[in-house]
């Protein structure tokens, strides 16, 4: 054989091997499910055939694809990649899949599809239910807004105490009218004007300037209060503002409501230097600022803190605070005798959990939207509702609290769960009866105050 003939034969053999290798490579493409190369023609036909058989068995006739299918209104679930993965023939260089194994894989696939459709259908039903509930709430709020704006607010003096308005109040005041309703309900017994607020604010700014410059503060009205007390009050305001609703990031330095909160608290320390600033006031002022403009928030804030209960706590009147605690325990024992006995046994006194709740009007302890609903009814019913709310919370967690010791109860009540459902809380509050031996809250509190005064008169040691 000549050299040229030998070279020609080698080229042909090499070309044949390349063609065979190319064909083998194409035969293996059916397993590249996630690549850019398509499945081989037989695999595509087999996959479509199996898919059609499954659709016929499921009672759903196959139909040509439509753009509307992307919306998935019928929640069709077609994991075609899974179909190809399970039902794809093995490569030619491997033994064929046994019939039993193929049947097993088909059953597994069908089970996977059924379970996936169930999960997707359940999730779709959950989303639909949430959407319907949200639409229902929005419609209810919209109707309530119209009622408040068109019927109640224009006729406030005659309608605010009617049964219809009280029922609407309990359901929660719409946010768009909440500030106006709070202002009317709290009132302005102190006759504070916007001009007085700006005078107090200017005085507070001057005081801040003097302290910053290190100069003396010469306000004659504050002569009875030491410079150290006034400076400590200003420093405490600055510190507390940074800790007020930190998750909202709107009251901290640089936030949109920082200056407003600082102005309200600073003006109040000038308006009531005898009270000054007390830790916890920032939460009350912040809630008001979220619903009112600055001057109206200051007016509501000053009148709210002038109520007997708030003044007793913020001026730290120990005798009166103990009277409020004693009145609370009367209704505690009446409504929750088992839990009351458990608390007594473990020396759990009301001051451990009530002080923080009362000081901040629950705005620090409860989710903000729930706290605002508490405020709604508090503005309607007064201080009694604060203690009724406390009993409602204890009632809601009675089963849990009766199994806890002192430490765990104290920790739980000072850090309540963050996901408290408002409906459950208000249902628990509604179940609390604020009547003991035919006496209501005001009567019990008055009787205890009278007893306290008589004890002080009869015992000189109690006067000090």
What is the domain range of residue 352?
Answer: 307-457
pTM attached to this predicted model: 0.71
Question: Does 48 fall in a domain?
Answer: no
Higher-confidence residue: 342 or 100?
Answer: 342
Phi first, then psi, for residue 309 (nearest 5°) are: -65, -50
Question: Does 99 fall in a domain?
Answer: no
What CATH number is given to the structural domain containing 276? Answer: 1.10.8.270
Question: 353 with 414: CB under 8 angstroms?
Answer: yes
Measuring CA to CA, which residue among 91, 49, 75, 170 is closest to residue 128?
A: 75
What CATH number is given to the structural domain containing 377? Answer: 1.10.472.80
Q: Same domain, yes or no, for 119 and 186? A: no
Residues 44-96 pLDDT 10s: 445 455 455 545 554 544 444 444 444 444 444 444 444 444 556 677 788 87
Domain end (from 145, 171, 197): 171
What CATH number is given to the structural domain containing 166? Answer: 1.10.10.750
Distances from the Cα of 275 to the Cαs of 156, 239, 300, 306, in angstroms?
32, 18, 16, 10
Residues 316-352 pLDDT 10s: 999 999 999 999 999 999 999 999 999 999 999 999 9
Separation of alpha carbons 62 and 55, rounded Å = 7
Question: Does 88 fall in a domain?
Answer: no
What is the DSSP secondary structure assignment for residue 367, as one 8-state letter? -
Question: Does 73 fall in a domain?
Answer: no
Phi first, then psi, for residue 439 (nearest 5°) are: -115, 135
Question: 255 with 249: CB under 8 angstroms?
Answer: yes
Question: Does 66 fall in a domain?
Answer: no
Total structural domains within the chain:
3
Average pLDDT estimate for 26-52: 46
User: Distance of alpha carbon 116 from its chain centroid, rounded?
Assistant: 32
Question: Does 8 fall in a domain?
Answer: no
Measuring CA to CA, which residue among 406, 386, 373, 183 is closest to residue 288?
A: 183
Q: Same domain, yes or no, for 312 and 451? A: yes
> What residues are paired with 439 via a beta bridge?
436
**76: three-class secondary structure by DSSP:** coil
Q: Same domain, yes or no, for 311 and 453? A: yes
Give pLDDT, residue 215: 55
Q: Same domain, yes or no, for 193 and 293? A: yes
Distance in angstroms between the alpha carbons of the first and the last residue of the chain = 131
Phi first, then psi, for residue 196 (nearest 5°) are: -65, -40
């Amino acid at each position: 054989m000549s050299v040229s003939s030998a070279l020609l034969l080698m080229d042909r053999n090499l070309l044949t091997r390349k063609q065979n290798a190319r064909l083998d490579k194409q035969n293996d493409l059916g397993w590249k499910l996630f690549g850019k190369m398509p499945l081989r023609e037989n695999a595509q036909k087999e996959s479509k055939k199996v898919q059609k058989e499954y659709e016929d068995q499921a009672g759903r006739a196959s139909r040509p694809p439509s753009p509307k299918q992307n919306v998935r209104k019928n929640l069709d679930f077609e994991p075609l990649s899974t179909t190809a993965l399970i039902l794809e023939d093995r490569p030619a260089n491997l033994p064929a899949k046994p019939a039993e194994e193929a049947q097993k894989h088909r059953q597994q696939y069908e089970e996977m599809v059924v379970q996936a459709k169930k999960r997707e259908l359940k999730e779709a039903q959950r989303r639909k239910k949430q959407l319907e509930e949200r639409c229902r709430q929005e419609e209810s709020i919209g109707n309530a807004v119209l009622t408040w704006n068109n019927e109640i607010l224009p006729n406030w003096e005659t309608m605010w105490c009617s049964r219809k308005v009280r029922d609407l109040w309990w359901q929660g005041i719409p946010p768009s009218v909440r500030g106006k309703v709070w202002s009317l309900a709290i009132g302005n017994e102190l006759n504070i004007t916007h001009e007085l607020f700006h005078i107090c604010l200017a005085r507070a700014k001057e005081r801040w300037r003097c302290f910053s410059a290190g100069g003396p503060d010469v306000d004659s009205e504050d002569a009875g209060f030491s410079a150290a007390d006034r400076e400590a009050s200003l420093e405490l305001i600055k510190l507390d503002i940074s800790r007020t609703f930190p998750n909202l990031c709107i009251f901290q330095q640089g936030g949109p409501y920082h200056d407003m909160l600082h102005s309200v608290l600073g003006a109040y320390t000038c308006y009531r230097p005898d009270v000054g600033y007390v830790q916890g006031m920032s939460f009350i002022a912040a809630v008001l600022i979220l619903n009112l403009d600055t001057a109206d928030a200051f007016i509501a804030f000053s009148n709210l803190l002038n109520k007997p209960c708030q003044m007793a706590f913020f001026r730290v009147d120990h005798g009166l605070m103990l009277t409020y605690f004693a009145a609370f325990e009367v209704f505690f024992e009446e409504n929750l005798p088992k839990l009351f006995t458990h608390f007594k046994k473990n020396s759990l006194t009301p001051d451990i959990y009530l002080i923080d709740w009362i000081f901040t009007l629950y705005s620090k302890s409860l989710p903000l939207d729930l706290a605002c609903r508490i405020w709604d009814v508090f503005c309607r019913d007064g201080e009694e509702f604060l203690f009724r709310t406390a009993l409602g919370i204890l009632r809601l967690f009675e089963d849990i609290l009766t199994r806890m010791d002192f430490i765990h109860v104290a920790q739980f009540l000072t850090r309540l769960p963050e996901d408290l459902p408002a409906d459950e809380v208000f249902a628990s509050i509604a179940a609390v009866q604020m009547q003991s031996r035919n006496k209501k809250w005001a009567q019990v509190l008055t009787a205890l105050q009278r007893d306290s005064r008589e004890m002080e008169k009869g015992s000189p040691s109690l006067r000090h």
